Homo-oligomer: A and B are copies of this chain.
Amino acid sequence: MKIKNFLLTLLFSGITFMCLSANLNAEVMLDPMASGDEDYIALLEAQGEYAYAFDFFTTSMLWTVIAAALVFLMHLGFATLEAGLTQSKNTVNILFKNVFIICIGLFTYALIGFNTHYPGDGWIIDGWLAFGGEFGYALTAAGNADDTFGYGGVGLAMTGYGDFIFQAMFAATAATIVSGAVAERVKLGSFMIFATLLVAIAYPMVGAWHWGGGWLGSLEGGFYDFAGSSVVHAFGGFAALACVMILGPRSGKYVDGKIKPILGHSMPLATIGVFLLFLGWFGFNGGSVLSANPAGVGLVFVTTALAAAAGGLASIIASMLFLKKPDLSMALNGILAGLVGITAGADAMGAWAAVTVGAIAGVIVVFSILFFDKIQIDDPVGAISVHGVCGIWGTLAVGIWGGANFVTQLIGTLAVSIAAFAFAFIVFGIIKAIMGVRVSPEEEAEGLDLSEHGQAAYPDFAQS
């Protein structure tokens, strides 16, 4: 009943905090005069409410929240992809984990994640360690969360709330990546605790190294990771690797040194998942332009789409050549590989470079999935290969075609990946020691839906 105590504590501390904070209602009136930009104020005074800087800002902010909504939809994409690629007896469990992750991710990002991620001058160890900063800063009136003109120019234009919601939707992604890799045998309560710590603490701490103005920026040439091939995807992928190593493979996956495929139960669900992820990536990458700058947004849409297409085609070709069949799962993973690959440099290279990056990612992912299967790292959805390996590839590719320093890219992506692996290895290991991380063989055989939730995903249909 440890999970129950954990949740009770969460609930009561949450309510206490809320009662203290609930009356700090944000001011919702627009006060452009507060911008402090004298030129702008002069223009405003001459031209009134409709002055044009406000218009560019308005459009950019609109794009920010729409992009946030698209990234939100990626969580449905992950949920259906992971559910589709696993067995029907574990479907409720996977859906539940994904529902929990988006909820806890948004909540903890408001509570501590946002301020850890962007510590401002609140670093504990400068450039390396941040935690929380001014508590709840961005979300109270004191934080001027709806300030309109606190940011600058065509390169960055959104309110504090816009910034928060866009980044909050990203935050839960890392935990979702892990969710797929540990599916079908992880203990629910243990995973919920791990995911909470990962998303609340580890993700924003490591992310602050890059996006929060930390040490990665001071490397030669500056570490370049546009929308997070490293700080989101490789981070999630290598955290997943550590968890899978601790957890071990599913029963019956590797028998007498042979690989026995465990089939996903619904290819339509998996396909829906990948299309939704592809769609959501337009927000993930496109929104990372951080304004509606038409040059940047247009380029990013094109590089993102073409890398995904090239990844899908390359995986299809590779699977036809090497697996001797047109494999739908590989085609789907190829699209995702292309998307992860282009994420670091989507704004830093042209269309044909994007095609190249995506195509290579689409080939890498096929061999990576075969490799991890061979060394008996059991990753039901291929998350380690798609997000981890291709995340590293994408980061390095900016050092080849995107004008970044290759060595810096290598250092940065390895640092992030190792940090994620180490955090997950230690924390998931501690959880294992305290309460265990794996269901019993009987529960695994019965399926987590009945053993953990007492609820079947498809009670009307006969199993074959």
| Alpha-carbon gap, A361 to B398, bound state (A) | 47
Which residues on the B side are within 8 Å of A186 (C-beta)? none
Query: Does chain B have a CB within 8 A of A411?
Result: no
One of A53-61, A248-256, A373-381, A423-431 at the interface:
A53-61
How many residues of chain A have a CB within 8 Å of chain B?
Answer: 159
Residue of chain B at shortest CB distance from A79: B271
Q: How many identical subunits does the complex contain?
A: 3
Contact of A294 among B58, B80, B107, B454 (CB under 8 A): B58
| A contact patch SS | helix
Q: Is the CB of A76 within 8 A of B272?
A: yes
Which residues on the B side are within 8 Å of A98 (C-beta)? 271
Which residues on the B side are within 8 Å of A274 (C-beta)? 99
Query: Does chain B have a CB within 8 A of A328?
Result: yes
| Alpha-carbon gap, A381 to B329, bound state (A) | 25
Query: Which residues of A in the span 73-123 have a Cβ within 8 Å of any Cβ on B?
Result: 73, 75-76, 79-80, 83, 87-89, 91-92, 95-96, 98-100, 102-107, 110
Q: Is the CB of B459 within 8 A of A104?
A: no
One of A209-217, A317-325, A387-395, A433-441 at the interface:
A317-325
Query: Does chain B have a CB within 8 A of A184?
Result: no
Query: Does chain B have a CB within 8 A of A259?
Result: no
24 A-B residue pairs with CB within 8 Å: A3-B320, A8-B321, A15-B359, A25-B349, A43-B47, A59-B59, A68-B301, A99-B274, A103-B308, A103-B310, A104-B309, A139-B352, A141-B350, A145-B351, A146-B295, A159-B298, A263-B459, A263-B460, A264-B459, A267-B458, A325-B455, A329-B455, A460-B463, A460-B464
Query: Does chain B have a CB within 8 A of A240?
Result: no
Which residues on the B side are within 8 Å of A96 (C-beta)? 326, 328, 331
Query: Which residues of A in the span 254-289 have a Cβ within 8 Å of any Cβ on B?
Result: 263-269, 271-272, 274-276, 278-279, 282, 286
Query: Does chain B have a CB within 8 A of A188?
Result: yes
| Alpha-carbon gap, A80 to B3, bound state (A) | 31
Q: Is the CB of B59 within 8 A of A58?
A: yes
Shortest distance from the beta carbon of A38 to any chain B beta carbon, whole Å: 13
Given A59-B58, A401-B23 in contact, is the A53-B50 Cβ separation under 8 Å? Answer: yes
Question: Which 4 A-B pairs give the minimum distances between C-beta atoms?
Answer: A161-B298, A21-B352, A61-B294, A76-B275
Q: Is the CB of A80 within 8 A of B272?
A: yes
Q: Is the CB of A106 within 8 A of B309?
A: yes
One of A26-34, A126-134, A364-372, A414-422 at the interface:
A26-34
| Alpha-carbon gap, A305 to B328, bound state (A) | 34
Q: Is the CB of A62 within 8 A of B22?
A: no
Which residues on the B side are within 8 Å of A219 (C-beta)? none
Max chain B C-beta neighbours (<10 A), residue from A8, A95, A331: A95
Query: Does chain B have a CB within 8 A of A221?
Result: no
Residue of chain B at shortest CB distance from A164: B302
Which residues on the B side are within 8 Å of A242 (C-beta)? none
